Chain A
Amino acid sequence: MTEDGLELDGRRIVRHPVLGPAPAAQTVTMSFDGRPIEALAGEPIAAALLAAGIRAFRTMPRTGEARGGYCFVGRCADCLAIVNGEPNVMTCLTAVRDGTRVETQRGLGAWPASGNSP
């Protein structure tokens, strides 16, 4: 911990000089492109990915350029990714659960085969 009360664990702010200690949260395991990642239950997927040092969540359909989170309030759609097999999930608004599987979305993504209407 530094003099001003800041304590970091990698990219996690364990203790903030103004806000104090981070609220207790259960640690769970999710995955990104098959690689296991530690995350906090209930936090947005995008926050968990950034905490793990992952910035690119999808690529553009034509140019292949990478995109990650931009607005974090559900407006911009830069943070879309494949979550549990379903593409175009807004990761800034979708909570992590134990076992959540996230994959990089290449282009528009393919909807999983399903007999259900949307």
Chain B
Amino acid sequence: MRAVQVAVVGGGPAGLTAAIAAARSGARVVLLDENRSLGGQLRYRIAELPELDSSSNRPPRLAKALIGEARDAGVDLRPGTVAWGLFADRVLAVAEGEESYHLEAEQIILATGSTDLPVPFAGGSLPGVMTSRAIQILLHIHRVLPGRRFAVIGIGTEAEEVGRDIAAAGGQVVVRIDPARHGTDLLAEGDDGVRAVTIAGERYDVDAIIVAGGRQPDAQLALMAECDAGYAPALGGIVPLRDADLRSSIPGIFVAGDGAGICDVATAIAEGRLAGLSAAATLGLLSAETLSAARSAYSNAVRDRAAIVDSLHAVRTHV
């Protein structure tokens, strides 16, 4: 068994910010991320983030800055490391390279992010059908354009962003599909890969279909630890309940970012900061006044979110 003061699970905007805040307060912090590189969604998104000001609204640059700050703050950064379990008494089960070990943490911050929601439709499992995150990873990390003529299933900002990403990389979005209106009369055809999509009787030749159906919080570790959870459609599904310091129902376990409910990057950063400071305060590294100021800063920055977080405690009785 290994031990650390603060373990952060997830190296996206929430996790990195949480780790920085806790480490700067004087805590020994380790950050685990299953991917080979840190940054989470900031690794594969490139569109300017409208919720942030121009100094930090470019995802790749923001990732680089946060990783640099975390390193400078002394955070033990461990990409390529999967936290696959969270047991009682804040013991994480960790797989790192060829090694497997348990890590006992005095405070744990879960910043586990989200997973793309599938959209069911006939032919939806053909090769060439992939999630919006998959195409962003291919285009921006691996620099591969896997098709020429794309259909995008989804409406809203995520679908628009991925449509622009495809166009910037030389692909053509030939049809956009609203899954709420065309779920049942949507048909993808092909043999070893998608060749066409038919929607309401109209057929389009495409060689790729992108499913941008939204995201759901990755709350598995919190649920495994038996944190109380509630169902909140506005947050993307089942999420852990949290108090005003972003602490779950289990002492010493905090949750921040998409894993606590789908949010934008600015909110993820605000939550990461508060969760990191809350963990440090719990360790006695931060005064009550400083934490109180951080709590106010958070609820002022993301008023709607804070209200939803608060209202979830009432929802809980219904699940």
Interface residues, chain A, with chain B CB atoms under 8 Å away: 2, 4, 6, 8, 11-14, 16-19, 22, 43-44, 47, 50-51, 55-57, 65-75, 78
Contact = CB atoms under 8 A, between A and B. Distances in A.
Given A16-B168, A78-B125, A71 B143 contact: no
Contact of A8 (B60, B134, B170): B170
Contacts of A75: 115
Given A13-B144, A22-B143, A73 B46 contact: no
Contacts, number: 94
Given A55-B127, A68-B127, A70-B129, A18 B46 contact: yes
A68 B144 CA distance: 15
B133 A71 contact: yes
Interface size of B as a range:
20 to 34
Given A19-B140, A51-B142, A56-B192, 9 more contacts: A12-B145, A16-B139, A22-B143, A50-B146, A56-B127, A66-B191, A70-B134, A72-B137, A73-B115
Given A19-B60, A57-B127, A73 B133 contact: yes
A48 to B, nearest CB: 8
B86 to A, nearest CB: 19
Contacts of B191: 66
B288 interface: no
B112 interface: no
Contacts of A71: 115-116, 130-131, 133-134
Contacts of B143: 12-14, 16, 19, 22
A13 B169 contact: yes
Across the A-B interface, the 7 shortest Cβ-Cβ residue pairs: A68-B127, A55-B193, A72-B134, A55-B127, A47-B142, A56-B192, A13-B143
